[in-house]
Amino acid sequence: MTSETAATMATEAQIRIPVCEKGLGAIILAPDSRELIRGVRLAPLSLYPDDRGCFLEVARMGLGLVAEFPLETTQISAALNYPGVIKAFHYHLLQTDVWVPVSGMLQVALVDLRPASPTFGARNTLYVGSMRPWQILVPPGVAHGYKVIGLESAFLVYLTNRFYNPADEGRIPYNDPRINYDWETQHK
């Protein structure tokens, strides 16, 4: 058994799906919110518009939320999603993600699956994208997913601190009755 296999098995034993009341959890409106799940970090991004369009710097390796990502194994990927699409939930046992929604808007849902975490069972909802350009760091053991909101597609660029490994990923249906996340428009 390799050391990574042993680490994956140990981490897997530390993952548990909480039983939550129906809802969204804490809606995060500021990067320094005290209601953030332990280990989740947010960083606002600067958007530079002019008469030609706009410029958005996604990440600088060695700085910011990706400062500790190793250059040898960092993977950068992107996903284009159509309006109304829900992609949820999945989690990683070892991998850390940094999400950067670069166009459109996403309703991001996070759930702490780590029983030893002081925020175990907490849910966070973030509304991010072109109207709120934030980077989101999602640590191992935090389930994550999103819904494209609005009338346009959303484009998500994400960086991971290790190459994709299917053995590191777990999946939970978006409508799992234990997480009980409310994906419906809230009409507030």
- Give DSSP secondary structure letters for 118-141: TTTT-EEEEEEETTB-EEEEE-TT
Task: Confirm whether 183 is domain-assigned.
Answer: no
Overall average pLDDT of the 109-113 stretch: 98
Is residue 19 in some structural domain? yes
Total tally of structural domains belonging to the chain: 1
- Report the percent of the chain where pLDDT is more than 70: 92
pLDDT at residue 42 in the model: 98
Mean pLDDT in residue range 90-117 = 97
Please state the rounded mean pLDDT for residues 12-41.
93
| Whether the predicted pLDDT of 180 surpasses 90 | yes
9 pLDDT exceeds 50? Answer: no
Q: CATH number, domain at 123?
A: 2.60.120.10
Distance CA 114, CA 86 (A): 23
Beta bridge partner(s), residue 33: none
For the cut 90, the answer to whether the pLDDT of residue 186 exceeds it is: no
| Predicted pLDDT at 185 | 85
Q: What's CA 47's distance to the chain center, in Å?
A: 21
For the sheet with 154-160, list strands across it. Answer: 41-44, 134-138, 97-103, 154-160, 75-81
Nearest to 65 by CA among 100, 24, 105: 100
Whether residue 158 is contained in a domain is answered as: yes
Tell whether 167 is covered by a domain: yes
Is residue 7 pLDDT above 70, yes or no? no
Q: Taking the CA atoms of the chain, what radius of gyration do you get in angstroms?
A: 16
What is the structure's pLDDT at 2? 54
**Residue 4 pLDDT class (50, 70, 90 cuts):** low
98 within 8 A of 92, measured Cβ to Cβ: no
Residue 141 lies in a domain: yes
Q: Report if residue 176 sits inside a domain.
A: no
pTM for this model (two decimals): 0.92
Better-scored residue on pLDDT, 46 or 109: 109
As a whole number of angstroms, the distance between CA 134 and CA 136 comes to 6
53: Cβ–Cβ under 8 A, 6 or more apart, which residues? Answer: none
**Other residues' Cβ atoms within 10 Å of the Cβ of residue 171:** 12
DSSP conformation letters of 39-98: T-EEEE--EEEETTEEEE----TTSGGGTT--TTT-EEEEEEE-TT-EEEEEEESS--EE
**Is residue 63 in some structural domain?**
yes
